[in-house]
Amino acid sequence: MALPISASSASSGSQSALSESTFLSRVRRLTVDGKRAGEGYWSPDGKRLVFQSERDPANPFYQIFVLDFATGDTKRISPGVGKTTCAFFRPGSSEIMFGSTHLDPKSKQYQDEELAFRASGKERRYAWDYDPEMDIFAVDEKTGTTKRLTTARGYDAEGGYSPDGQWIVFSSMRDAYNRTLSAAEQKQLELDASYFAEVYIMKADGSGQTRLTDWPGYDGGTFFTKDGKIVWRHFEENGLVANVWTMNPDGSDKKQLTDFGAMSWAPYEHPSGEYFVFASNKLGFENFEVFMVDKAGAKEPVRITYTAGFDGLPVPSPDGTQMAFTSARGGGAGSAGQIYLAQWNHEAAMAALKAAGPRQTPKR
Amino acid sequence: MTNTKHVVVAMAAACLVASTPVFSQTATSSRTRTHVETLASDKFEGRLTGSPGEKLAADYIISELKRMGARPLPGLTDFRLPFTFTAGSKDGGTTLAITKAGSAPQLFSGATTVQALSFSDSAETSGAIVMAGYGLVVPESQNFGYDSYAGLDVKDKIVVVFRYFPEDADQQTRAILARYADLRYKAQAARQRGAKGMLVVTGPRSPNAGAVVPMSFDTAIAGSGLVAASISSEAFAPIMAASGKSLEAVQKEFDSGNPHVAGFAIPDVTVTLKANVIRQQQTGNNVVGYLPATAPLTGVNKPWVAVGAHYDHLGRGTTGGSLAGKDEANQIHHGADDNASGSATVLAIGDAFSQQPRKRHLLLAFWSGEELGLLGSNAFVTKPPFPLEQMSAYLNFDMVGRVAGNKLTVQATGTSAMWPRLLEQANIAAGFDLVLQEDPYQPTDVGSFNTASVACLTFFTGAHQEYHKPSDTADKINYEDLVRVGELASGVVRRLMDSADVPQFTKVEQKTETGGRAGLRLFTGTIPDYASDVKGLLLGGVIGGGPAEQAGLAKGDVIIEIAGQSITNIYDYTYALELLKIGEPAKVVYMRGSDKRETTLTPSARK
Ligand SMILES: [Zn+2]
């Protein structure tokens, strides 16, 4: 295929020559059951997908499910009680980790309250609440046993295993609860707890928890790269601008890869190791689209999705030929967001990145 | 698929044991193409219910059922399940005699002067006359307070009513009254109040002023219990003269929509109405067979799984439903997508399962009479050959040959909490970009099964330019994806067959009030895309030369506002249409791509 890209296309803004079909084909909705679903992450062999979904009539919150592509079957692997989020397969093991509030004795009460609210027919804007009782757990699919990996008060979640399965990088808001806050900080906590979220690393058994970031603004969406670095998203203090960053697992060499002056988040590495895919609302506050940026962040990111409604949380398959993402493009009952799957054109992605101009700095 | 619409509800989840369906792609693919090309060929002449073409199509389907080893239903020897229906009505010479006290009767007859309404009893009735305005009764449940018969004694009388609904009423009033303006509904209201007959006159201030109502196509087997006819202004003149008022002045009073404008008895005149409606009875044939379970059914809950599609179509489009332009009128309507595609899919599912173990019976149904109003499937559920409680689910296929952009719409998912999970599982392998719609009140045979409380689904790939036109031909079918529709459905059927659990039926509330369908007399020439979930009304096409085309609207446009009413879905749109007036330009705001545009559409009269 000859790609309709000119050398100057990225900087001249004539990227309209590119379209979603340049990169994505056979786009289709993967999850249809339940009110919403998202955060689909592949098993290392690419045969399964773990994701969160609101599909249990008795629990209005996310639970974790594993979908088997060979049989089409889906099974819940989280406890069923409380809220869960951000699951991840542990390479070389039968463990899956996820964040969960099921040990909170009030979990059932919250479920019932939320169900009553929904039954009342009232609507409110969907918002993730950064439950301070959220901790990270790992369930062993073979034995069915669940072990707790974090215990600190404050939201612990948004983690990923290292390629060798020995380490976990994650996000924690414990900094808001383990010390006395100033009056200004206390006000900030009531306004938006995510301000306190920082990146942490620990061994896969939960030992050796170490903090890697120490600055204002929400740090999260953390994953390891193939070459053992960490990619994540850092929010500026104002909570509106976020960018994709990388660093070493000891916290050194922090590098900013994007600079849209918008909310750029949910980075994930393509298995080629050549680029990251991520979501950004560069084109309008409510209009998230998927973009990609080269590994070094040297070039201007390239837009991937062109469909109305939320598109985000892109995760390429381990063989690099497919991409799972979360989208509200289905409208109707799916407008709350569901997982989509598409064929991914890596060659077109490489060509478009090559043709992109140097990274621009936004006017502020 | 027939031309109607409607909505809604909630759901839960359930778990099913799954196994992988076997579907031989290449063999199925070529056979599916053959099925569609055969059924949609000229030889079958558009498969009009009761026609020789329908019989040929039934023969073809039966030979295919025999080839795969299907049998007639238990206790039967034939795959054909005949049903009787009214193929058409015509006026056999209706007359009206008007007698003023002390004078000789004046006699009126002839198709342009006095014509029976299609649902009238064939009978004679005489009596005094009462003018009952527009003859509209809004049910009390609507809290609107409009009853044309309030304070009127019409017992054993003959009422005269205006056609349509008040011309000068405000938009909201018109919108409500329009829903009860169907002539059948008006006849029912008159009969319930004891009237013996009803005369309809088209007022001088209305479209089609003074003309009689054309005899519409009506599939009812019997009359409505009332003698009813429409009469021309000429025939009405002597009656009006007896009242001492002018018809125009009387209509103008009623046109205000004021519920306190009362009807009145017309003194010194009696009429004798002799209606003669000839109903032509015909027989249509459902074709139904089954593949028996391959294991003993002991302990199996609800031992039947059913798949079905209508195989009839519009013939040459002469009995209604055709959207053919003038240049293609009376040509064979091939119905390749509608619904050779669905019929071929049911055959493909049968083929696949004929080679596989079956824990339940698989019913394979091919309905006729669908285009005339779901006649065949209705006949089946009304007098089922086995109790429908034994049917665990019914899957319907109507217009599934036009997959575009990998999209497949599955409707009626609200009929069981189990459907979303089951569809998700089966679709992992099939790979469609699924659109689920809960509403089972669809203009296809799934409606009959929903009414019979059977958990059901219907598959649909969307409306298109060739919908109900001769040009719906086999060369326009997307065969590769049509075969995948069969694969997806086979995955669902496999799970239904193997599961101990069966889908629990959930009743979905119908969103819209169905008292008399709106007297839709207005023609806009828009073809809504019923499969779409976009905000606004997506046009699947526009009718050539119609008002929409003249307004510059085209396929793919999304109407977001019409006559000041914002449009977010098809229901808003049909509601808004009731507010439009013939010949009066209405502002239309629409999206073409990301471009917001405006135009003016002038509705014309539907004849
Ligand atoms: Zn049709």
The residue of chain A nearest to residue B19, with distances taken between CA atoms, is A71
Does B20 contact chain A (CB < 8 Å)? Answer: yes
Q: List the one residue out of B82, B104, B106, B109 whose CA is nearest residue B94.
A: B109
Does A32 contact chain B (CB < 8 Å)? Answer: yes
Q: List the one residue out of B423, B419, B461 whose CA is nearest residue B440.
A: B419
Distance B378 CA to ligand 1 centre (A): 16
The residue of chain A nearest to residue B435, with distances taken between CA atoms, is A330
Low-confidence ranges of chain B (pLDDT < 70): 1-28, 141-142, 217-222, 511-521, 530-534, 569-572, 574-575, 578, 606-607
Q: What is the pLDDT of residue A122?
A: 75
Does A57 contact chain B (CB < 8 Å)? Answer: yes
Decide if B20 and A71 are in contact by the 8 Å CB cutoff. Answer: yes
As given in the structure block, the two tokens for residue B402 are 């036009």
Chain B: nearest CA to A318, how far in angstroms?
A: 18
Decide if A73 and B435 are in contact by the 8 Å CB cutoff. Answer: no
The rounded mean pLDDT for chain A is 89
Q: What is the pLDDT of residue B152?
A: 94
Chain B: nearest CA to A143, how far in angstroms?
A: 21
CA–CA dist B120, B222 (Å, integer): 9
Candidates B23, B416, B428, B459: best to mutate against A (most CBs of A within 10 A) is B428
DSSP state, B118? T
Residues within 8 A of A (CB atoms), B 276-315 only? none
Q: Which residues of B touch A311 (CB under 8 A)?
A: none
Q: List the one residue out of B550, B560, B555 whose CA is nearest residue B600.
A: B550
Decide if A72 and B426 are in contact by the 8 Å CB cutoff. Answer: yes
Element (DSSP H or E) covering residue B34: helix B25-39
Distance B387 CA to ligand 1 centre (A): 28
The residue of chain A nearest to residue B404, with distances taken between CA atoms, is A26
Decide if A333 and B436 are in contact by the 8 Å CB cutoff. Answer: yes
Distance A317 CA to ligand 1 centre (A): 42
Q: Which residues of A touch B423 (CB under 8 A)?
A: 32-33
Which amino acid appears at position B416 of this protein? Answer: S
Does A284 contact chain B (CB < 8 Å)? Answer: no
DSSP state, B73? P
Residues within 8 A of B (CB atoms), A 66-125 only? 67, 69-74
Distance B313 CA to ligand 1 centre (A): 6
Element (DSSP H or E) covering residue B77: none
Distance B604 CA to ligand 1 centre (A): 24
Q: What is the pLDDT of residue A12?
A: 34
Q: What is the pLDDT of residue B108?
A: 95
CA–CA dist B266, B246 (Å, integer): 13
CA–CA dist A28, B207 (Å, integer): 48
Q: What is the pLDDT of residue B4?
A: 36
DSSP state, B137? B
Distance B408 CA to ligand 1 centre (A): 18
**Largest Cα span, chain B:** 85
Element (DSSP H or E) covering residue B341: helix B341-354
* Digit-coded pLDDT (tens) for A74-123: 999 999 999 999 999 999 999 999 999 999 999 999 999 999 988 887 76
Does A332 contact chain B (CB < 8 Å)? Answer: yes
- Render B166-213 in DSSP notation, one character per residue: -SSS-HHHHHHHHTT--HHHHHHHHHHTT-SEEEEE--TTSTTTTPPP
Chain A: nearest CA to B424, how far in angstroms?
A: 6
Which amino acid appears at position B25 of this protein? Answer: Q
Domain B4-85+284-498 has CATH 3.40.630.10: yes
Q: Which domains does chain A have, with CATH numbers?
A: 31-148 (2.120.10.30)
For residue B413, which phi and psi values (nearest 5 degrees)? -65, -15
Instruction: Report the top-level CATH class of B522-605.
Output: mainly beta
Decide if A71 and B18 are in contact by the 8 Å CB cutoff. Answer: yes
DSSP state, B507? P
Does B19 contact chain A (CB < 8 Å)? Answer: yes
CA–CA dist A96, A92 (Å, integer): 11
Decide if A26 and B431 are in contact by the 8 Å CB cutoff. Answer: yes
Distance B208 CA to ligand 1 centre (A): 29
Q: How many CB pairs under 8 A join A and B?
A: 73
Pick from B425, B435, B535: which is nearest to A330 by CB? B435
Domain boundaries, chain B: 4-85+284-498, 93-275, 522-605
Distance B164 CA to ligand 1 centre (A): 27
How many other CB atoms are there within 10 angstroms of residue A144's CB atom? 8
The alpha-carbon radius of gyration of chain B (Å, integer) is 26
Distance, CA of B403 to chain centre: 23
Distance B1 CA to ligand 1 centre (A): 3
CATH of region B93-275: 3.50.30.30
Distances (CA, A) of A314 to A263, A279, A300, A331, A342: 15, 7, 18, 19, 10
- Render B509-575 in DSSP notation, one character per residue: PP-S--SS-----EE--EEE-TT--SSSEEEEEE-TTSHHHHTT--TT-EEEEETTEE-SSHHHHHH
For residue B55, which phi and psi values (nearest 5 degrees)? -65, -40
Q: Which residues of A touch B432 (CB under 8 A)?
A: 28
CA–CA dist B117, B183 (Å, integer): 9
CA–CA dist A329, A308 (Å, integer): 6
The residue of chain A nearest to residue B425, with distances taken between CA atoms, is A72
Low-confidence ranges of chain A (pLDDT < 50): 1-16, 334
CA–CA dist B194, B155 (Å, integer): 4
Q: What is the pLDDT of residue B464?
A: 84
Complex ipTM, two decimals? 0.84
Q: What is the pLDDT of residue B513?
A: 37
Q: What is the pLDDT of residue B454?
A: 97
